[in-house]
Structure 1
């Protein structure tokens, strides 16, 4: 390859030779976005000509040709740099929606809670319980969303001096959702109202048992639902089929927050707060933000406001549990969505995976700093143990998956199972398989042979465009599962050994056609090209205006064209740490997580000083009071070896 193709807008300060990384061309006036370049090409062309990257991706410009005029209009109308206009337009943000997207507020994005089906019924029943000081049991899920949802409701009730008890089922012995034994125990303890959070939508028998024993039930959930619902006081779930609120993207904690708004409004209407201080609901948004990021729901609409405002609350360090967890993890910088998903989330989950399932909810609920510190340190230790278990399981699962993919490279889904695997870690292993093979995965842990049970517990993870929740519900309807449920990107199930083959066939049949379309559309979307010297703190400030990033709002992805790998080594057994150098001698630290031993890591390690195109996200790193920027590598390509 020669110099920049004519189809590219040239770098603002210099022109680069893509094959050698050498500098040439006359400098032009520098701007705040110097050294950022954009492609101008026909739709379908490969970005920088990359049709076969290390990870097998076709690189393409994220901004479609028909949106270029919108990108220009956004920049001109709102006084934003060209890069911002392109990033916003590529993510489907309209001209008039830009201010609300860059500065999301609860006031503008939160719906009237009553728009959700059964919301008024739930608010009325909870208000009754608060006025009467009735004992309330909170039945939550054992993941981060369940822990945050439980803590939200517990903190709200504690403010009103209402006795409440959080019950989180044991992942290994009770499984997901309410069970008859636990419900009976809660009623016998004196609970007159049971509120299920992040579960309950499909728990017909256990919730019927509660009603028979004289307890009312309110379900607050977000998982996909069939037409039939439990016969309870209220089912508040924006994903029930008759709900038209348009809030189906919320996690359970996001729905719980709306319920708390509705209950507060109902109590205010009744005059309850004439003698009692109203709760500060905004102070609870740190828990909503954590759940929203950890549950990987789309960071669009109300969820953007939840996370943006919740991070601000979290930085005040008022929740003693979150503060203790940050300290235990050694976090010394203000939390970001990355920290919520990869520092806080795994530690809270660790209790439910291999320890006491209630630890996370207890930590997030407590106001005792001493108790919080003890729980946080325990969760930190459990998280380390979880990592060791996950490593062993992943090696075994990869061996099985490799055989499956060798036998059928077009296989729509990975399905693996073993008697030696830990039920609490199957979801994490499923996520790793999805990363490796870019297709849905189901990982099942069978009960031991000595057990009289012939059942297995499975977790499923998906790829964008493939709805696993529907496939699992169809398997339940077909009699292939003992139970199962979830949403588009993640689901869980319980299956009998005798049905495994039929279940696998069901998934492959259900998802085959969809996966063909997904694979045909597979590619790595690129926002712009960037040289190492352009990866500045000022650029990070600009990019972060579009945050929070996550599902539905992908991070800006840049390519460093024709940069040489000056240094490379494996760190932490699985990560590749490299130093990239541009043609002008500028250097940028970079890391590729879990790339060692994989095609991406092999290419980086064997580059031998030859220029590579390297794609990834920029990360801000604060160390010793100084801000610096590094690249988190997602992919790389050799420009000399493109078809």
Structure 2
């Protein structure tokens, strides 16, 4: 199956409106308006504009449970998840409860290879040694019926905080907070798991303040946790709606000012990023993957420890370990992706394979999501990648990634409804989901999955598209506009980083790092040459003399230079 070739489509112009500060250049106003932010307060929302917590279903019950546990000095165990959102949510939960007066707070996280996903009965059995009285799940729990029931059977209270889509039945928890519960009135359905627990802490603080629990009226400043909220939100690829952008922007301001927790400061250092100009992209491509790598290949307890320590030296040690695990993860991911692409080539899949299912008995279950994502980007089709839950196991763990218009969690639900018992369990979102499956049922699942995809997928949806913000004028290809674009975010899912297109003359080119293409270009109306790079762009042949590019304009500080660079996302002959 050949790679999908995207087409470039320019966004429709949208009126910018008035009331913009003079410091916002017209280019940025145009970009904001194209993303639905027609006024400054929508483009750069502040914390004062956050949706109030009281519209979240179950949040009052959650706050009451936590307040009682704190007042009675009960043992609270925060149970995290093994991805970046789950790790940051765990750190926010532990740090926030301690700030609010909890003295007996522990944390735990499932090991992917030992316990499987979330609050499982196996994890509950292991947690018994801690003698918890209240379990607080973060970034999971809404699908953990058996684990919640096992904890309740031991006499423990369970508070579930999650953001994943619920099934037809809810787990038997004492309280559940999830913006995606049926009938929930909270306006931001895009909260990440770390955002949900932050909101629960806000509600708890308000309850304790109204009850006069803070001597002298001095209450803890929970905004100090927003560095962690920002990292988890960006890394989980949830849409950056107005509410999430306010949270992420505030967290980025803390990180840029050097006020992040010791672990995040150490991770920024090991990534080689500059804190003063840190962006959401730095979180998504550098910090998040290093935290995620621990949960994929090792134990996310390492990542959570890094986020909880206040010792800078210990934080640096842990960040270095996470950096090494991430390097190993990249090697494993590349080998698995190569295997997947070779399997696709051998199978000679034709256009009928609308939603490929991939499996290899030697793959690592912690990396299948990355493989699915890579193949999805290459083919621009929904993809599920499977691996044994552990070496030689008869149970598979699958990770699914989708394209716009094909809700992959709902697709799994449709298959499960049509074929009861085929899938052991599943959960997720519109664009990403996970499932477990018996190995012997893989052929039947693939047949059912392809049949559902054939019914639902419109072939027009399989055309990859790059949405461009149009052409930049020669005078806009400068440092001022590059910095304005960089600092005008946070950019991310649902509020995409600006992308431009246009025709350029290729003055010269060279291959760097074996796979990347470095070019020197000239804009038709410009005088000065422009530096550009296309990562992974070397195709074994000389590029055409004239190119139509889709690109991003970014500052280039290499070796102290204050220049600009075009980062090319796609090129084709002009």
Instruction: Mark yes or no: TM-score above 0.5.
Output: yes
Aligned-partner SS, 1:559: strand
Q: How does 1:201-600 map to 2 (within 5 A)?
A: 201-274=142-215, 277-318=218-259, 319-334=261-276, 335-404=278-347, 406-446=348-388, 451=392, 453-477=393-417, 478-516=420-458, 518-519=460-461, 522-530=464-472, 534-544=476-486, 546-564=488-506, 566-571=508-513, 573-583=514-524, 584-596=526-538
Q: Is the 8 A contact 1:178 1:199 kept in 2?
A: yes
Q: Cα distance, 1:634 vs. partner?
A: 1.0
Cα distance in 2 for partners of 1:366, 1:577 equals 41
Cα distance in 2 for partners of 1:232, 1:151 equals 22
Return the match for 1:88 from 23, 32, 53: 32
Cα distance 1:172–1:532, how it changes in 2: closer, same or farther (>3 A)? farther
Q: Cα distance, 1:291 vs. partner?
A: 0.8
Return the match for 1:186 from 127, 131, 139: 127
Return the match for 2:40 from 70, 86, 99: 99
Which residue of structure 2 lines up, in the alignment, with residue 13 of structure 1? none
Cα distance in 2 for partners of 1:347, 1:434 equals 22
Cα distance in 2 for partners of 1:277, 1:475 equals 53
Q: Is the 8 A contact 2:483 2:555 kept in 1?
A: no
Q: Cα distance, 1:565 vs. partner?
A: 5.1
Cα distance in 1 for partners of 2:236, 2:130 equals 31
Q: Deviations over 1:495-524 (max 9, x none)?
A: 111221222223323333543255266432
Cα distance in 1 for partners of 2:174, 2:361 equals 40
Aligned-partner SS, 1:225: coil
Q: Is the 8 A contact 1:136 1:193 kept in 2?
A: yes
Q: Is the 8 A contact 1:169 1:175 kept in 2?
A: yes
Q: TM-score, normalised by structure 1?
A: 0.83
Moved more, 587-596 or 510-519: 510-519
Aligned-partner SS, 1:158: helix
Q: Is the 8 A contact 1:419 1:448 kept in 2?
A: no
**How many matched pairs?**
565
Aligned-partner SS, 2:400: strand
**Is 1:129–2:61 an aligned residue pair?**
no
Cα distance 1:279–1:466, how it changes in 2: closer, same or farther (>3 A)? same
Q: Cα distance, 1:74 vs. partner?
A: 2.0
Q: Mark the runs of 5 or more structure 1 residues left unpaired by the alignment.
A: 1-53
Which residue of structure 2 lines up, in the alignment, with residue 29 of structure 1? none
Cα distance 1:541–1:373, how it changes in 2: closer, same or farther (>3 A)? closer
Aligned-partner SS, 2:158: strand
Which residue of structure 2 lines up, in the alignment, with residue 607 of structure 1? 543
Cα distance in 2 for partners of 1:354, 1:412 equals 30
Q: Cα distance, 1:137 vs. partner?
A: 0.8
Q: Is the 8 A contact 2:255 2:275 kept in 1?
A: no
Cα distance 1:513–1:545, how it changes in 2: closer, same or farther (>3 A)? farther
Cα distance in 1 for partners of 2:463, 2:328 equals 38
Q: Deviations over 1:159-206 (max 9, x none)?
A: 224222211111122221111132133244221000011111011111
Q: Is the 8 A contact 1:55 1:635 kept in 2?
A: no
Which residue of structure 1 lines up, in the alignment, with residue 573 of structure 2? 638
Cα distance 1:389–1:355, how it changes in 2: closer, same or farther (>3 A)? same
Which residue of structure 2 lines up, in the alignment, with residue 150 of structure 1? 90
Q: Cα distance, 1:544 vs. partner?
A: 4.1
Q: Cα distance, 1:251 vs. partner?
A: 0.6
Q: Cα distance, 1:75 vs. partner?
A: 5.9
Q: Cα distance, 1:365 vs. partner?
A: 1.2
Q: Is the 8 A contact 1:219 1:234 kept in 2?
A: yes
Cα distance 1:566–1:433, how it changes in 2: closer, same or farther (>3 A)? same
Cα distance in 2 for partners of 1:354, 1:311 equals 28
Cα distance 1:339–1:448, how it changes in 2: closer, same or farther (>3 A)? closer
Q: Cα distance, 1:533 vs. partner?
A: 6.2
Cα distance 1:435–1:103, how it changes in 2: closer, same or farther (>3 A)? same
Q: Cα distance, 1:78 vs. partner?
A: 7.0
Cα distance 1:217–1:591, how it changes in 2: closer, same or farther (>3 A)? same
- CA-based RMSD: 2.3
Q: Is the 8 A contact 1:177 1:200 kept in 2?
A: yes
Q: TM-score, normalised by structure 2?
A: 0.93
Q: Deviations over 1:517-538 (max 9, x none)?
A: 5526643222121366642111
Aligned-partner SS, 1:630: strand
Aligned-partner SS, 1:505: helix
Moved more, 230-239 or 364-373: 364-373
